Amino acid sequence: MADLSTRTENGTIPALRWEEPPEGPVLVLLDQTRLPHDEVELVCTDVQALVAGIRSLAVRGAPLLGLAGAYGVALAAARGYDVEDAAELLAHARPTAVNLGYGVRRAIDAYRQAAPDQAAAAALAAARGLHAEDAAASAAMAEYGGRLLAELIPGGGYRILTHGNTGALISGGEGTALGVVLAAHRSGELRRLWVDETRPMLQGARLTSYEAARAGMPYTLLVDGAAGSLVTAGEVDAVLVGADRIAADGATANKVGSYPLAVLAAYHHVPFIVVAPTTTVDLGTPDGASIEVEHRPGSEVTDLAPSPLGTQAYNPAFDVTPPELITAIVTENGVVSPVMAENLAAVCG
């Protein structure tokens, strides 16, 4: 179980942290597969353990995966492992989230450019720098997102539908889409947060509800298939989601089930908003068709919904929403709307 001394001021446990006990540096992960009922931490002393945590979804979410990648390189360097091999292993632990490779590159570049006796410290400094940048990006996205909601939904009282998990559990700060919702809640503007359960791993039911409850938000859980009736009933003012990779044209890969929500929102003229840092934008991927979508074991589906022995399951981890269905992309550098390649490139500098 997590030590009480590790909790933040609001009582939550950091999703990831670096520690240096006498026996050597470690990377500590909050095991998100055990939430919401068990707050258990995994202590990674080597990159293999960290990769296992990434693949099992103990640590997840695009921005946090970037931090895990950077700290993983630093861990290998600090413990005297083969840093180049470690970087390669980390970068390919999961294929869709672009932040993972970005974090690895930040740390390995710093390691390579430093003098040999300073290389490990340089890798750790790069990871810590990325961590601070992500926290700052979360705050900026919350501010830009709040302004956008005020423009789109005059009068406040927002009723927001979200899919997946996009709060502090996936970030070095307070999150992406859920960070915007949290800011709205603190300002008294949130009337209701609708939480898709997000099958098959139930990140909404287990993780977003966990974060919403701790923050005291007014929230209601629904099965994914109920979103259509909810929007049709006029109970949703906006849909907010995160992203695991955004292509150069604005096409966005996010937790599977996001694309149907975008279609639903477009039909009913409800804003569909993506909230993600610019580190999630991959200008080297030209469009949605070029995004590699991770497929996960079918057992994740069949274990959740008991089925006859031998049943095969289709289990993509993500789907891709085309830019024409996205009202806006909120980044730490501003809002992209309309979502077009030139506008996205502009905010990415």
Edge-first strand order for the sheet with 238-241 is: 219-222, 190-196, 158-162, 238-241, 272-275, 328-331, 334-336
| Residues with a known catalytic role | 244
The 3-state DSSP class for residue 207 equals helix
- Nearest CA to 238 out of 319, 140, 157, 292 is that of 157
> Helix (H, G, I), strand (E, B), or coil: what is residue 223?
coil
Listing DSSP states for 225-266 in one string gives GGHHHHHHTT--SEEEE--SEEETTS-EEEETTHHHHHHHHH
The CA distance from 99 to 282, in Å, is: 9
How far is C-alpha 64 from the chain's CA centre?
A: 7
3-state SS class at 135? helix
Nearest Cα neighbor of 284 from 155, 106, 98, 132 is 98
Ramachandran category for residue 206: left, alpha or beta (phi over 0 → left; psi -120 to 50 → alpha): alpha
Q: Count other Cβ atoms within 10 Å, centred on residue 63.
A: 33
DSSP string, 97-108: -HHHHHHHHHHH
Strands laid side by side in the 41-44 sheet: 16-19, 26-30, 41-44
